[in-house]
Structure 1
Amino acid sequence: MKRQNYSNEFKVQVSKEAFEVGNKAGVARRYEIGPNLLHRWIRQYQEGHFDDVDPSAIPNRQVGEVAKENDRLKQLLGEKDLEIAILRDLVKKKNPHLLKRLK
C-alpha cells in the first residue's frame, strides 16, 4: 500500500475543522484518514509547524453561517426544555406518586 502525502494547506484545513466541530473521529472518517494522524496534525498545528501556510488559501466558515446555526440550536434547546416541562406536568397530574422520582 502506497503512503499518501498531504499538503500543509489540507492538514491545516482538516485540523481547523476538527477543532471547530469538536469531533475528531468524525472528521477523520469524513476525510478517510486515521484518527491518530489527525490528532498528530492538530498537535503540530497548535505548536505552529504549519506557519508557512497562506491563511487566505484556507476556506473559513462565515460568521453569518455560525450565527444562524447557533440560533437554530438555541431554538431546538428551548423547544426541548418546553417539552420536558410539559411532560413533567403531565406526570405530576396523572401519577403524583412518581413525583418523588423526578426530583
Structure 2
Amino acid sequence: MASESAQRFAGMLLSRVRAPPPASWPDGGSESLRKKCFEEEDKEEEEEEEEEEEEEEEEEEEEEEEEEEEEEEEKEYIHTYNIKFNFNLELKKCVVMANEHSLSN
C-alpha cells in the first residue's frame, strides 16, 4: 500500500515535468501543436486526479463504515455485558433472600 502511494506520488511529480518536443517536430513544433499536446496532458492529469480523489473518497467511506460497525459491535457487547451483569445481580439477590428465608426457619 505504501509503495502504491509512492508510485502515485512519483507519477504525479513526473507528470508535472514537461518534456521538450520530440525531435521529429520541425523547429521544435508549432506553438498551437505544443499547446494542444499540453492541453491533452492537462486533461489526462485532471482525469487521474479525479480518479485518485474518487478512490480516496471511497477509502474514507469504507473507513467510516468500518468505524460505524466497530461502534455497533461495541454497543452490542456493552449491552450484552449489562444484561449478564444484571442477571448475576438478580441471581445473587435471590440467593441472599433464599439464605435469609432458610435462616429464619
TM over 0.5: no
Asked which structure has the greater RCO (Cα within 8 Å, sep 6+), the reply is 1
TM-score (norm 2): 0.37
Greater per-residue helix proportion:
2
Q: Which has the larger radius of gyration?
A: 2
TM-score, normalization by structure 1: 0.37
